[in-house]
Amino acid sequence: MAKDDSQSSKTDSEETNSVPQGGIFSIFNALPEYDRGNRLYGIKRYEGAVECYQRAVAIKPDWARAWLRLAECLKNLQRYE
C-alpha cells in the first residue's frame, strides 16, 4: 500500500509542476512578441511589427489588443485584404 501512495504522490507533484501551454498562461508566451511588435510599431517598422503581432495572436487568439495593433499596422501598410 505504501508503494501505491508514493506513486500517486509522484503523479500529483508532476501534475502540479506542469504549466499548461494554453489558457490564461498563454499570455506569458505571447507577451514578448507583442512587446517586440510595439517597439517596431513605435519606430514605424510595420512589416516587422506585423510578424510579431501575428505570432502573438497565434499563441493567444483571444487577445484583442494584439489584434488591434495588427490591424493598425496593416492599415498603415495599406494592406486591406
Alpha helices in 18-79 (DSSP H): 26-42, 46-59, 64-76
Q: What is the pLDDT of residues 42-61, one digit of tens each?
A: 999 999 999 999 999 999 99
Q: 25-81 belongs to which CATH class?
A: mainly alpha
Res. 37: pLDDT tops 80: yes
Specify the higher pLDDT residue, 3 or 43. 43
The predicted pLDDT at position 12 comes to 46
Model pTM?
0.70
Q: Under 8 Å CB-to-CB from 51, ≥6 apart: which residues?
A: 37
- Delimit the domains of the chain by residue range: 25-81
Q: Under 8 Å CB-to-CB from 27, ≥6 apart: which residues?
A: 60, 63
The predicted pLDDT at position 69 comes to 98
Other C-beta atoms lying within 10 Å of the C-beta of residue 10 = 10
User: What number is the average pLDDT over the span 23-44?
Assistant: 92
